[in-house]
Amino acid sequence: MTKKLLQINITANWGSHGKIAEGIGNVVMSHGWESHVAYGRWANPSSSQLYHIGSMMDERIHGVGSRLLDNHGLMSKRATIQLLRYVEQLNPDIIHLHNIHGYYLNYPELFSFLSQANKPVVWTLHDCWPYTGHCAHYMYVQCDRWKTHCEHCPQKRSYPASLLFDRSYRNYDMKKQAFLSVPNLTLAPVSKWLEGDLRQSFLKDCSIRQIYNGIDTNMFKPQTETKAIMSKYDIPLGKRVLLGVASNWWRKGFEDFLQLRRLLDDRYVIVLVGLDEKRMKSLPTGVIGIRRTENVTDLCGLYSLADVFLNLTLEDNMPTTNLEALACGTPVITYRTGGSPEAIDELTGHVVMQGNLEAVCKLVESVCNRGETVYASACRQRVLDKFCSSKQFEKYYDLYSQLLGIKK
């Protein structure tokens, strides 16, 4: 009988997490499985069969409950019950969770079902939300209350923001009770850094299998002809190009890029991709802003023409932008933030402490003086060896097979 995989995520084939789910679906389909994705908010056309969870109204009501009452993940009950009816009808062999936060799902209802479903459950952790009482990331405020018991949350007004109540103490207990109720749960953190913190959380006794994100190296590869991209985005010839890319620049180092611009001379130009209208209007001379783009050809061109990819993120887990840059042959300089340094080694980039822009300047100068061609081959090879999507997503298939007792 054909095996069925159901993945649940906030998006389907949209954004980094949605594309990871899409890639995993493609791998299992290559092995003869059916692939289904239930998603909450945004979707692109998919090779998997899609199910849309809830409605725009459900999302808005959930948002109000989260913003006013700190009830993130506790709304959308009707939408979740409808999802569970769909799951019962589908009867998947493996249920694979990704981001279950994002104003679309009721986690007590979901985990009550999973605790009784007698099915293997895999949960890829893309951030820290599963084991905190409120936040998705805590490194920016250097909070470690999650190790013992969250309360008096210093990030009450950060995503998922609550404007009135702080219920982090209650939420911590509710998550702990719900998430530990599933006996056959396997957690898959996407970085060694996250795995380390996970093993200090209330989820430490769960089965844990660390699996890195992967990227499509047939899609992200060096581009030799970049003049058209430079012309399209008004990037001047003869400049040393420093590139930053983010889908959302919240705590991704935008202000540090602006400070860095003041420290650099006119030989350099900074190009930032993924900016909103407000940030676009605030850019000084020597910084070029580009709005968010899903055009992979353009992104590959930008990665390829850059002399250095800079990741000045202040909180992150395992950013795929590092991997995309490396796959295009471009060295990476990153802050020591979360799992970001795990993308590189001594042949492919450098790691700097957060906020040390003088060190960034010196390393940028050093890398540019050596020339990108010195790094290109090693950068590309590192991704092929460690972060190629086909290899990484195959590890999920191996995990599914192990959980189901399928001999390969």
- What is residue 73's predicted lDDT score, i.e. its pLDDT? 97
pLDDT digits (tens, 9 = 90+) for 363-379: 999 999 998 889 999 99
Q: Which helix (H) or strand (E) holds 382?
A: helix 372-386
DSSP letter (8 states) at residue 36: E
Q: Is residue 222 part of a domain?
A: no
**Side chain identity at 15, as an amino acid letter?**
G
Which among 202, 267, 217 has a CA at the least distance from the CA of 241? Answer: 267
Instruction: Work out the burial of residue 176: count CB atoms within 10 Å of its CB; fewer than 13 is exposed, 13-18 middle, 19 or more buried.
Output: middle
* 396 and 374 fall within a common domain: no
Q: Is residue 289 part of a domain?
A: yes
* 185 and 245 fall within a common domain: no
Tokens of 188: 């898959």
- What is residue 342's predicted lDDT score, i.e. its pLDDT? 98
How many other C-beta atoms are found inside a 10 Å radius of the C-beta of residue 327?
Answer: 27
Q: How many domains does the chain have?
A: 2
pLDDT digits (tens, 9 = 90+) for 332-353: 999 999 999 999 999 999 999 9
* 148 and 286 fall within a common domain: no
Q: Is residue 219 part of a domain?
A: no
**pLDDT > 90? residue 383:** yes
pLDDT higher at 241 or 406: 241
- What is residue 297's predicted lDDT score, i.e. its pLDDT? 93
* 393 and 282 fall within a common domain: no
DSSP letter (8 states) at residue 14: S
59-66: list long-range contacts, CB under 8 Å, 24+ apart: 59/103, 59/104, 62/103, 62/104, 63/103, 66/103, 66/160, 66/161, 66/162
* 191 and 240 fall within a common domain: no
- What is residue 396's predicted lDDT score, i.e. its pLDDT? 98
User: How far is it, in rounded angstroms, from Cα 189 to Cα 193?
Assistant: 9
Spatial CB neighbours of 362, under 8 Å, sequence gap ≥ 6: none
- What is residue 186's predicted lDDT score, i.e. its pLDDT? 98
3-class secondary-structure state, position 33:
coil
pLDDT digits (tens, 9 = 90+) for 34-62: 999 999 999 999 999 999 999 999 999 99
Beta bridge partners of 234: none
| Total residue length of the chain | 408
**Phi-psi label, residue 354: left if phi above 0, alpha if psi -120 to 50, beta otherwise:** beta
- For residue 333, the enclosing domain spans 227-386
* 276 and 356 fall within a common domain: yes
- What is residue 145's predicted lDDT score, i.e. its pLDDT? 97
User: How far is it, in rounded angstroms, from Cα 47 to Cα 379?
Assistant: 30
* 209 and 335 fall within a common domain: no
- What integer best gives the mean pLDDT of the chain? 96
Tokens of 351: 């790691």
- What is residue 15's predicted lDDT score, i.e. its pLDDT? 84
**pLDDT > 80? residue 314:** yes
* 241 and 321 fall within a common domain: yes
Which among 46, 37, 35, 39 has a CA at the least distance from the CA of 11? Answer: 39
* 13 and 150 fall within a common domain: yes
- What is residue 295's predicted lDDT score, i.e. its pLDDT? 87
- What is residue 7's predicted lDDT score, i.e. its pLDDT? 98
* 76 and 48 fall within a common domain: yes
* 259 and 377 fall within a common domain: yes
- What is residue 16's predicted lDDT score, i.e. its pLDDT? 85
Q: Where does the pLDDT of residue 1 fall: very low under 50, low under 70, confident under 90, or very high at 90 and above? A: confident
* 14 and 144 fall within a common domain: yes
Q: Find the CATH number of the domain harbouring 130.
A: 3.40.50.2000
Instruction: Work out the burial of residue 77: count CB atoms within 10 Å of its CB; fewer than 13 is exposed, 13-18 middle, 19 or more buried.
Output: middle
**pLDDT > 80? residue 294:** no
**pLDDT > 90? residue 286:** yes
Q: Where does the pLDDT of residue 405 fall: very low under 50, low under 70, confident under 90, or very high at 90 and above? A: very high
pLDDT digits (tens, 9 = 90+) for 83-96: 999 999 999 999 99
Least confident piece of the model among 22-31, 224-233, 264-273: 224-233
